[in-house]
Structure 1
């Protein structure tokens, strides 16, 4: 029993056929060769199956259950990797306004992404070169002097002493510094593991962000091709609106955090509040979490300012209130404009849920996701619900 191949076989892989191939299969082979064309090299798609048949209904239901179970298992097993991918995708959409601006001014897309990356890395390298030594020193000083600062507040303010005694703050602070966190921060193996993990995640996110940004047009096209032809134009309009919201939020939020961190550093330096650089970086990082982050940062800095004097603490609280109003009513409207329109109550709920599910990254991604969901509800769900019953 031999094998043969004829002119209809692929130029790369010969299709083995038995020499005594049955007549029905020979006829099918001939029909397959005639069915192929330049437009449909694998044949014109046939008529779809009847979705209303009992077999297709049961098959679809079973397949749906299996797909959901498989997706859940994959998400749980690859949670950390998926978080890095999602973060990179959001960053790619966030730098898209800058990349698109360079492309409109004559840059090739790959070169535009490289220019944006060089600009960001140069700024980050400059900041680290100028601030990494005092940042580490101030961070260590803040941790080491935390018990002394608390003791100083207890001696100076009876209210703080009674509150510390009631909640056992001295013991909890001492336990926190001498416990696992302190051991990890001082241990060579633990610190090295943390640094290596952080560097690895950073490199992965940076590489994925560059890839997503360079291939964003093709990714966008392939995404929209998943929609049926009749719904594709509508999907393009809604999808591009979502991309604009996410991009405007990510880029605007980073810029606002940079401004608030700089203003905080100037304020703390003027009033001689200890550890101004590390506290300013704390404000910039926490301010990335809308509403809740800046409030938490203000509370921490107010406590540190209380070690200087009560008037400085009160003035610092007033500064953060003004800074918050400035951010909400001046910076955000001018930088983000009307790109991200999320009610305040939805913002708080989204941040709380995102933080509970995915930690800090979930809190950061909660607002653009909430904006996208609100847009889908307004454009798809509400119009259908508002239609009069026939």
Structure 2
């Protein structure tokens, strides 16, 4: 029997609720609340053990992945850092040209063309001398080999004491492992090609960094909270100024060391003067210990002339170290870096251990940046605590 509900006289007939009507009503309510996807639920309890454990695990995983990424890309990151370091070193010259009225692209072009012209002129003068002295060395190799067999000669005494000939034989034959000299030459060729490729990458990146350095620094400053941005900008600009002054000063002192070595060796007739002068200039880029290492190699080569010439060369480098440390470096760099001597030595040793020659090269500017950070930020906070 059908269930009939009573109706009110004169009232319109009741209409069954349809899904479409309910949906429209709900949509109208949602639209009124301005929430097209509904109301959000209750927030997660961030203090729950599960949430804390997952957050900690995610943090450990992300940190581990970042460390592995840095280790895997270490060689590329070193090249990028070296290019940025050189760009910062050349930036003062670009800024000087910009202050003279040149646009930045023109100033960068002038600096790059001037640098290439200097390098090209240097190679044009050095390569013929290097080829000539390399040919002389190759021609004198048989004489050196005979001298090693003579126990009364200097080379013979060194060979008898340090087994130089045996070590050279192992080096050229691969230590008895069946590796031929041709394999060693191919390995040396790969090293030369990889070095040339790295040099090319550093040069290209340096040009890009030098052209966009203001934009890069401005973007980095935008990542700092506005309330601290002015102070961070001043401190960072001071660090960049110190790095630029250090790079240019270090290049000047290295050129002076190379030229002084070449003149000394030419006066006393020591062979391979151009080659050794270039070697000393490159090694002198390493602060503190660079000129000492170069001087030791030059003294060993001077032994092939005579013992008095080697002793005189040793005295020359001892005197040059005093002149470089107490006259050239203070005059060229002045107070741009302001790093104490003991900090300089420790920074060079630690940087060389971590990153080799590149680490030793950038150690002093990094130490200057850390010292400035401690003086301007860390020490005042510690004094107020």
After TM superposition, the runs of 4+ consecutive aligned structure 1 residues lying more than 6 A away are: 28-32, 52-60, 156-160
Counterpart CA distance in 2 for 1:22 and 1:135 is 86
The counterpart of 1:121, out of the listed 116, 123, 128, is: 116
Alignment of 1:111 with 2:111, yes or no, is no
1:155-234 equivalent positions in 2, closer than 5 A: 164-179=159-174, 183=181, 187=185, 189-234=186-231
The size of the alignment, in residue pairs, is 352
Counterpart CA distance in 1 for 2:273 and 2:332 is 26
Cα deviation for residue 143 of structure 1 reads 7.3
Alignment of 1:91 with 2:86, yes or no, is yes
* Native 8 Å contact 1:224 1:232 kept in 2: yes
Aligned to 1:131: 126
For normalisation by structure 2, the TM-score amounts to 0.80
Counterpart CA distance in 1 for 2:371 and 2:380 is 13
The counterpart of 1:349, out of the listed 346, 356, 378, is: 346
Counterpart CA distance in 2 for 1:147 and 1:177 is 16
Cα deviation for residue 146 of structure 1 reads 6.8
Alignment of 1:305 with 2:298, yes or no, is no
Q: RMSD across aligned C-alpha pairs, in angstroms?
A: 3.5
Q: 1:296 to 1:229 in 2, by over 3 A?
A: same
Counterpart CA distance in 2 for 1:160 and 1:167 is 10
Which region of structure 1 is more displaced relative to structure 2, 357-366 or 245-254?
357-366
| Higher gyration radius (CA) | 2
Structure 1 residues not aligned, in runs of 5+: 1-19, 33-48
Aligned to 1:245: 242
Counterpart CA distance in 2 for 1:296 and 1:230 is 49
Cα deviation for residue 342 of structure 1 reads 2.3
Structure 2 residues not aligned, in runs of 5+: 1-23, 38-42
Counterpart CA distance in 1 for 2:244 and 2:67 is 28
The secondary structure found in structure 2 opposite 1:333 is helix
Cα deviation for residue 312 of structure 1 reads 1.1
Counterpart CA distance in 2 for 1:384 and 1:199 is 47
Question: Deviations 1:60-85 (Å, cap 9, x if unpaired)?
Answer: 65554334222211111111111111
Counterpart CA distance in 2 for 1:354 and 1:279 is 25
* Native 8 Å contact 1:252 1:336 kept in 2: yes
Cα deviation for residue 165 of structure 1 reads 3.0
